[in-house]
Structure formats: structure tokens, C-alpha cells
Amino acid sequence: METKKKNIVDCFVGGARSGLDICLHSTIPNVIFAFVLIQILNLTGLTDIIGTICQPLMILFGLPGIAATVLVASLLSIGGGVGVAASLVTSGQLTNEHIAILLPAIFLMGALFQYMGRILGTAELKKKYYAPLFAIAIVNALLAMLVMRVLLLFL
């Protein structure tokens, strides 16, 4: 059986189509969801409540309490976490330094529920292992935020 070789233009166009598909069906909806979520939280006053409740924990990382909303959104989607962070920077509630501390956590625990559900469900892993796996990812994210805070003190 003979296979047809693709030229570089076909490869590029195929890759561009795949990238556009990912952007339109994954990235943009996640970012829009994050902006809508943060606006709902702002309008209902829940951001203030979350900020107040989480302030004692977030202060350990040099962050305002409101930064916890970024971490919560990140658990659902990396794009959502980035979108919430961007929204909070735009509104002046987070600074560039805060974002530098949050970014490693966004990527280390980003979309944790989404990906772990897909992977662990497919692998048919016993449910008793889910909590320790989630905890490890979250602890890694928190440690990364501490490391970033220390690095920022010296840079």
C-alpha cells in the first residue's frame, strides 16, 4: 500500500486548522468562562468574602486573599485560571509580582479535576488513590508559590 506524502504547505495548513480548532473550542471558552466567573463573583460580593476567608493563607505567599479565586479557577481549567488572573490584574487587584507567584501554581494544578478525571477514569485506578494524587498536585503548587515568593525577594 502506497502512502501519500504531504508537502510542507499541507502540513502547515493542517496544523493551523488544528490550532484554530483548539483555540475556538477550548482556549477561548475557558477564558470567557473565567471572565464571566470573576464578574459574577464581583457582582455578588463573593470575591470580597473569598478574599477575607483566604487572606490568612494567601499572606504566606505574599498574595492578597482574592488570589485564591485564581487558584480555584485553575483547578477547573488552566485557561480559566489565567483568565481570572488577567481580570484581576486589569481591575488592579493583583500586581505583576502576584502573577509571578501564581503562575507556577496555575500550571502545576491547572485543570486538575478535568485531567485527573479523564486519566484516572481511563486507567481504572482505584478511587482511594484519587485524594492523595490531588493532594500531591496541590502541595506541589503551593510549594512552587513559596519558591517564587522567595525568588522574587532576591531578584
Per-residue confidence at 118, pLDDT binned at 50, 70, 90? Answer: low
pLDDT on residue 1: 55
Give the residue with greater pLDDT, 89 vs 123.
89
Q: What's the pTM value of the predicted model, to 2 decimals?
A: 0.74
**CA 8 to CA 10: how far, in whole Å?**
5
* Residues contacting residue 2 through CB under 8 Å, at least 6 positions apart: none
* Mean pLDDT for the stretch of residues 32-56: 83
- H helix intervals, 7-111: 8-22, 28-44, 46-58, 68-76, 78-90, 96-109
pLDDT on residue 39: 77
Q: Do residues 61 and 149 touch, judged by C-beta distance below 8 A?
A: yes
* Residues contacting residue 90 through CB under 8 Å, at least 6 positions apart: none
pLDDT of 113 over the 90 cut: no
Mean pLDDT of the chain: 86
